[in-house]
């Protein structure tokens, strides 16, 4: 399917205001080091990692502080040179308590990372490569924080036809991937080439939305002469969702309940590729990431290279603090991000953005009855019936919602965005999904 400018895209979806102009041209800058860091050891999808340090232990920047707690788990590393202050339960950005390692930074340290020599990736077996990526603490940096090595452990009977790099960054406000692609295009291409070779991909492509043509140009230039294709895509939400990106670039459907690998594809985020290159070329594990700090309530927006574990409060202060009329601070993008319950909680590996909003943007409009306009159906890229799902949820007919494939909903929020009656469709759908999960768990327990 082709969209505006005759560029590829997927069917349906929405186009919320991009609001990227505040930060899209701001070069990456470093967040200054602060005195204290908190690293929850379950930031990723999967089993929490196991702490391997003790209170009072001195650490250098990049030292391992927690080992993977299983295959679907990763290592964690100290973001600073300092001392373990405490290991215990701390509140995370979502308000939930989690096992966390607190580290006090050494006030006299220059916090320089002592780079190692480049690893000989070529001579590694695929298994060794997967183990190394797990040890690097790498997760997808797009927000979901899925351990990268799990995707690279490709079974022999599932060859990878296409390795697809996701440079869409389709959420409004966010520009962290954009700046990495522009300023570190070489590293993105280098990381991509490393992974593509190790997973045996037959072809490699990078998809970037057309509101980032400077990133398209930078990547094309960095990839010149290589085997990586860079494709500009129509700007549309939620094109950054794996299945939508595949549909946009190849016209192929990933069936419900299946993974991209089931149709020969692996999708990764472009920022992750730059971090992979950093790890294999100089031994830098995932101890920092780029965070877009933006939104109408932020005084000085920025794209900040931020150590994992930095208190969100310190990031906000570095950006000039919040306006007095701030009503909400969100982690991630405005469509799929979560409201931050405690700004003393830390920046996580999946923190692509810290956005602050005033009452103007957060006041929920008055809700009206459904006028059966079908805009929510036209918005849903999975061809679900959000209006029907919303009504079933309100009537607590959650079992019936299964017949309408409620569990396939990726909670992108496009339907809620499109609804002129301001019906909170995605919230209602989440309630139904949760009720069905609980029902399934009760069934297993019986
Ligand atoms: S939130 Fe779910 S139902 Fe609504 S548009 Fe996204 S995928 Fe479709
Ligand atoms: S968009 Fe809103 S008003 Fe229109 S059919 Fe869907 S739920 Fe009803």
- Supply 339's token pair: 């409201």
pLDDT surpassing 90 at residue 153: yes
Instruction: State the CATH architecture for 33-106+285-361.
Output: Roll (3.10)
Residue with the larger pLDDT of the pair 315 and 118: 315
Give tens-digit pLDDT for 49-59: 999 999 999 99
pLDDT at 380: 98
pLDDT at 352: 97
With cut-offs at 50, 70 and 90, classify the pLDDT of residue 144.
Answer: confident
Q: Residue 379: CB within 6 Å of ligand 2?
A: no
With cut-offs at 50, 70 and 90, classify the pLDDT of residue 365.
Answer: confident
pLDDT at 324: 92
pLDDT at 4: 59
For residue 413, how far is its CA from the centre of ligand 1 (angstroms)? 6
Domain boundaries, the chain: 33-106+285-361, 136-147+158-282, 375-445
pLDDT at 142: 87
For residue 402, how far is its CA from the centre of ligand 1 (angstroms)? 14
pLDDT at 253: 94
pLDDT surpassing 70 at residue 14: yes
What mean pLDDT do residues 68-80 have?
98
For residue 131, how far is its CA from the centre of ligand 1 (angstroms)? 36
pLDDT at 344: 95
What mean pLDDT do residues 427-434 have?
97
Q: Which residues line the pocket of ligand 1, CB cutoff 6 A?
A: 379-380, 382, 384, 386, 409-415, 425-426, 429
Q: Residue 421: CB within 6 Å of ligand 2?
A: yes
Q: Which residues pair with 356 in a beta bridge?
A: 329
Residue with CA at minimum distance from ligand 1 atom 3: 386
User: By the 8 A CB rule, do 9 and 2 touch?
Assistant: yes
- Nearest listed ligand to the Cα of residue 418: 2
For residue 405, how far is its CA from the centre of ligand 1 (angstroms)? 11
What mean pLDDT do residues 17-23 have?
97
- Token pair 């995932």 is found at 286
Give tens-digit pLDDT for 214-264: 999 999 999 998 889 999 999 999 999 999 999 999 999 999 889 999 999
Q: Which atom of ligand 1 lies at the shortest distance from residue 425's CA?
A: 4
Q: Residue 426: CB within 6 Å of ligand 2?
A: no
- Return the best residue to mutate from 387, 412, 431 for the ligand 1 pocket (most ligand atoms within 8 A of CB): 412
pLDDT surpassing 70 at residue 314: yes
pLDDT surpassing 70 at residue 409: yes
pLDDT at 445: 64
For residue 88, how far is its CA from the centre of ligand 2 (angstroms)? 46
What mean pLDDT do residues 420-434 have?
97
User: By the 8 A CB rule, do 84 and 54 touch?
Assistant: yes
Residue with CA at minimum distance from ligand 1 atom 5: 380
What fold, for 136-147+158-282? Answer: Rossmann fold (3.40.50)
pLDDT at 444: 73
- CA nearest to 12, candidates 247, 186, 316: 247
pLDDT surpassing 80 at residue 5: no
Residue with CA at minimum distance from ligand 1 atom 7: 409
For residue 384, how far is its CA from the centre of ligand 1 (angstroms)? 7
pLDDT surpassing 90 at residue 3: no
What mean pLDDT do residues 136-144 have?
92
Can you give the pTM of this predicted structure?
A: 0.95
pLDDT at 125: 94
Question: Within 13 Å, how many C-alpha atoms sit on residue 143's CB side?
Answer: 26
What mean pLDDT do residues 440-444 have?
85
For residue 25, how far is its CA from the centre of ligand 1 (angstroms)? 31
Percent of the chain whose predicted confidence (pLDDT) is above 70: 98
Residue with the larger pLDDT of the pair 225 and 92: 92
Q: Residue 376: CB within 6 Å of ligand 2?
A: yes
């Amino acid at each position: 399917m082709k969209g505006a400018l005759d560029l590829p895209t997927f069917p349906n979806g929405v186009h919320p205001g991009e609001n990227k102009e505040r930060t899209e041209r701001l070069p990456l800058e470093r967040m200054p080091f602060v005195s204290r860091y908190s690293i929850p050891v379950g930031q990723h999808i999967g089993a929490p990692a196991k702490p391997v340090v003790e209170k009072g232990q001195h650490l250098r920047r990049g030292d391992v502080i927690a080992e993977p707690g299983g295959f679907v788990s990763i290592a964690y590393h100290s973001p600073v040179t300092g001392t373990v202050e405490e290991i215990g339960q701390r509140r995370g950005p979502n308000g939930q308590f989690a096992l966390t390692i607190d580290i006090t930074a050494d006030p006299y340290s220059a916090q320089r990372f002592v780079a190692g020599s480049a690893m000989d990736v070529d001579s590694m077996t695929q298994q060794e490569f997967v183990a190394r990526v797990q040890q690097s603490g790498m997760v997808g940096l797009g927000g979901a924080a899925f351990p990268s090595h799990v995707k690279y452990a490709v079974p022999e009977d599932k060859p990878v036809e296409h390795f697809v790099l996701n440079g869409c960054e389709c959420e409004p406000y966010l520009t962290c991937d954009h700046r990495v692609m522009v300023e570190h295009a070489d590293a993105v291409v280098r990381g991509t080439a490393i992974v593509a070779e190790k997973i045996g991909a037959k072809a490699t492509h990078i998809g970037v939305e057309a509101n980032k043509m400077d990133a398209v140009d930078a990547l094309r230039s960095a990839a010149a002469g290589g085997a990586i294709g860079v494709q500009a895509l129509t700007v549309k939400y939620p094109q950054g969702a794996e299945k939508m990106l595949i549909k946009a670039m190849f016209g192929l459907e990933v069936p419900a309940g299946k993974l991209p690998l089931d149709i020969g594809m692996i999708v990764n985020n472009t920022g992750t590729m730059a971090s992979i290159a950093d790890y294999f070329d100089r031994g830098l594990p995932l101890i920092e990431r780029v965070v877009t700090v933006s939104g109408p309530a932020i005084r000085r927006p920025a794209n900040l290279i931020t150590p994992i574990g930095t208190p969100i409060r310190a990031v906000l202060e570095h950006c000039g603090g919040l306006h007095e009329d701030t009503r909400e601070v969100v982690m991630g993008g405005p469509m799929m991000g979560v409201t931050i319950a405690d700004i003393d909680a830390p920046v996580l590996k999946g923190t692509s953005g810290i956005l602050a909003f005033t009452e103007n943007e957060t006041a929920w409009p008055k809700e009206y009855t459904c006028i059966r306009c079908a805009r929510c159906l036209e918005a849903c890229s999975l061809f679900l019936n959000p209006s029907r799902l919303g009504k079933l949820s309100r009537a607590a007919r959650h079992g019936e919602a299964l017949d309408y494939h409620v569990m396939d909903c990726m909670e992108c929020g496009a339907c809620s965005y499109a609804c002129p009656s301001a019906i909170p469709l995605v919230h209602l759908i989440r309630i139904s999904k949760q009720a069905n999960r609980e029902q399934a768990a009760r069934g297993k327990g019986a």
